[in-house]
Amino acid sequence: MLKSKLAGLGAVLALGVLTTAAFAQDKPVAGEVKDGSPKGKTLTFVSYGGIYQDGQVAALKEFVDKSGVKLLNDGPTEIAKLQAQVESGNVTWDVVDTGDLPPYVHCGKLFQKLDLSKLDVSKIAEGQVGECSVPAMNYGVVLMYNKEKYKDNPPKSWADFFDTEKFPGVRALDGSGDPTGGLLEQAFKVAGGDPKAMTAADIDKAIDVIRKLGPDTIYWKTGAESQQLAESGEADMLMMWTGRAMTAVKNGAKYAPAWQDWLVVMDQMTIPVGVKDTDAAYALLNAYLGKQSQEILAQQTSYTPINNDAQPKVDASVAAFLTNTPERQKQGYKQNIKFWVENFPLAQEKWSALMAGN
């Protein structure tokens, strides 16, 4: 009888070990790619072009080579286009890089609620994984100024950016899509307000500060255009993505960053509602989150990796624009995401009116 019980216990323990081992094998590990897992399948990855999307594609090369998937690229990301695809039931975008707010605004409607059992998010900083998104990378929106124009009296903050009397010159702002909450909060501060106490009615006050910059203000539509504005010297102060700013300086632009209150931003990686092969989309997403993929992305773009184990080898020109150093973290400004999600339609309406010249 005792032998029988021991044998039975042994069988149970063996089954438990096998089950645990199987579970461990099935649990995804960021960056790991199963050979031939989505072989023969086609995935379309959508992002914002330029050095950023080039870097993302390079980061996904191992996934493409090992998995056998055919990867197509499209862009730039446009929420209206994605909405049309979802509403028509013909979704052709499989994994989409978006700005920081859309996955919160459209969670469960345009973007799938993520099944985190299919992703390894253990190496991502706390608070960066959303219900419908994981971070694509961390970066900054930074004030860049013309060193030759401002010489020994350069602008040091967004307050200086909005001060056209003390710092005359042409400004250039991001007009590529949705409003940037952090910029509007900085404008509201100039108007005498407290961003922490901002209400929906205060959005107009922030927009008015931007409007008062004058008719010569340039609203760039793409990152490439912002880079060209710096390299040509057409704008004296620019709101720029750190990756584009880094590339412009590398290419000889006589500009420097004012890091105080740089706007902390992270693009988001999402899977749209209605994609034809969610498992393949998850496989791509999990590969992208890996240590090596994130190192490649950082090395090619200067954008900060979101895998905490990543240690990109970068030269001084790239390191100068990484945003994860203790100094940069102290200088960064984080927008009130909750406020902008709740007031997104109104902010978008007001911003669109400004873009239309109203």
Asked if pLDDT for residue 269 goes beyond 90, the answer is: yes
Residue 111 near residue 103, CB atoms below 8 Å: yes
Question: Is the model's pLDDT at 2 over the cut of 50?
Answer: no
Per-residue model confidence (pLDDT) at position 103 = 95
Query: b vs e for 102-140, b when ≥16 Cβ sit within 10 Å of the residue's Cβ?
Result: bbbbbbeebbbebeeebbbbebbeeeebbebbbbbbbbb
Report the pLDDT averaged over residues 236-262. Answer: 96
| Beta strands per DSSP E along 47-147 | 70-74, 95-98, 134-146
| Average of per-residue pLDDT across 71-95 | 97
State pTM to two decimals. Answer: 0.75
pLDDT at 14 (0 to 100): 47
Provide the pLDDT for residue 1.
Answer: 52
The predicted model gives 100-121 an average pLDDT of 95
pLDDT tens across 305-325, in order? 999 899 999 989 888 998 888
Q: Give the residues across from 272 on adjacent strands.
A: 111
Model pLDDT for residues 151-178, shown as the tens digit of each residue: 999 999 999 999 999 999 999 999 988 8
User: Whole-angstrom distance between the N-terminal and C-terminal Cα of the chain?
Assistant: 89
What is each CA distance from 154 to 131, 171, 236, 247, in whole angstroms? 41, 14, 11, 21
Cα 122 to Cα 111, 282, 317, distances in angstroms: 22, 16, 30
Please say whether the beta carbons of 187 and 162 come within 8 A: yes
The pair of three-digit structure tokens given for residue 187, joined into one six-digit string: 């404008």
Q: How far apart (Å, rounded) are the C-alpha atoms in residues 181 and 161?
A: 16
Residue with tokens 């099935």, as numbered in its chain = 26
Q: Return the pLDDT at 25.
A: 52
Distance separating alpha carbons of residues 121 and 185, to the nearest angstrom: 30
- E strands present in the chain: 42-46, 70-74, 95-98, 134-146, 171-174, 218-220, 237-241, 255-270
Cα–Cα distance, 188 to 231 (Å, whole number): 30
- CB contact at 8 A, 344 and 105: yes
pLDDT of 23 reads 41
Contact 354, 207 (CB under 8 A): yes
Instruction: Give the neighbor-by-neighbor strand order of the sheet with 218-220.
Output: 70-74, 42-46, 95-98, 255-270, 134-146, 237-241, 171-174, 218-220
Residue 143 has pLDDT above 70, yes or no: yes
pLDDT at 248 over 90: yes
Phi, psi of 255 (to 5 degrees): -125, 155
Residue that wins the pLDDT comparison between 222 and 5 = 222
Report how far Cα 135 is from the mean position of its chain's Cα atoms. Answer: 6
Question: 266 pLDDT exceeds 90?
Answer: no
244 within 8 A of 196, measured Cβ to Cβ: no
Q: Tell me: pLDDT of 236 over 50.
A: yes
pLDDT computed for residue 21 by the predictor? 41
The mean pLDDT of 265-292, rounded to a whole number, is 96
Residue 205, pLDDT score: 97
Q: How far apart are CA 353 and CA 358, in angstroms?
A: 5
Q: pLDDT tens for residues 13-68?
A: 444 444 444 444 578 999 998 876 778 899 999 999 988 999 999 999 999 999 99
Q: Residue 252's pLDDT is what?
A: 97
**CA-CA distance, 154 to 7, in Å (whole number)?**
80
Task: Name which residue leads in pLDDT, 4 or 60.
Answer: 60
Mean pLDDT of the chain: 91
Residue 6 has pLDDT above 50, yes or no: no
